[in-house]
């Protein structure tokens, strides 16, 4: 049996909101999301937020505002890509840079980590590139894949 080490949770459409950008001050969690974070931590897993937020690069919100939001929800840490798609960074999903950064910071084996997200061609591709376990939820954009 795999001894799971950490869970990476996408923000928009996965723990709350709609899938679209919502400023942290207006963001609403899905029912049970905070409890789920707490239960994962009680089970001995690290729980991390990992999110693309290119509006930060446009000045529409700050990384600090996201970070303090994730702290409030009980995340152990948050990994945030503030860049636009044209900037060619390594962290913007579907690139796996945020997962590698987290693995280095916390000494994780990514094959023993789970990535939960609502978008196949960002969240799931990043997970695949890092060799992590993929969980595609049907909230947010994930509903497009439901029958
Ligand atoms: Mg999402
Ligand atoms: Zn980035």
Rounded to the nearest whole angstrom, what is the distance from the C-alpha of residue 1 to the centroid of ligand 1?
A: 29
Average pLDDT of the residues in 63-87: 97
> Are 136 and 123 contacting, i.e. CB atoms less than 8 angstroms apart?
yes
Q: Which tokens belong to 48?
A: 């991390």
Rounded to the nearest whole angstrom, what is the distance from the C-alpha of residue 79 to the centroid of ligand 2?
A: 10
Please confirm, yes or no, whether 12 is among the known catalytic residues.
yes
Please confirm, yes or no, whether 123 is among the known catalytic residues.
no
Domain boundaries, the chain: 6-81+91-135
Per CATH, the number for 6-81+91-135 is 3.40.50.1000
Find how far residue 72's CA is from the centre of its chain.
15
Q: ∠ at Cα 111 (35, 42), nearest 5°?
A: 25
What's the pLDDT score for residue 145? 58
Residues 70, 18: Cα–Cα separation, whole Å: 17
Weakest mean pLDDT among 36-45, 63-72, 133-142: 133-142
Give the residue among 87, 88, 33, 77 at the shortest CA–CA distance from 51.
77
What's the pLDDT score for residue 101? 98
CA atoms within 13 A on the CB side of 119: 17
Residue 147 has pLDDT above 70, yes or no: no
What's the pLDDT score for residue 146? 52
Rounded to 10 degrees, the C-alpha dihedral 102/37/24/115 comes to 40
DSSP element (H, E) containing 9: strand 6-9
Average pLDDT, the chain: 95
pTM of the model: 0.95
């Amino acid at each position: 049996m795999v001894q799971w080490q950490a869970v990476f949770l996408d923000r928009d459409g996965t723990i709350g909101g709609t899938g679209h950008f919502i400023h942290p001050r207006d963001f609403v969690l899905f029912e049970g999301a905070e409890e789920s974070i707490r239960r994962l931590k009680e089970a001995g897993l690290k729980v991390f937020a990992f999110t693309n937020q290119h509006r930060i690069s446009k000045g529409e919100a700050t990384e600090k505002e996201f970070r303090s939001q994730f702290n409030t929800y009980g995340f152990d840490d948050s990994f945030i890509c503030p860049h636009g798609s044209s900037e060619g960074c390594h962290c913007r999903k579907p690139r796996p840079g945020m997962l590698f950064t987290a693995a280095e910071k916390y000494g994780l084996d990514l094959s023993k980590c789970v990535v939960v997200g609502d978008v196949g061609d960002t969240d799931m591709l990043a997970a695949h590139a890092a060799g992590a376990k993929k969980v595609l939820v049907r909230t947010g954009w994930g509903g497009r894949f439901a029958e």
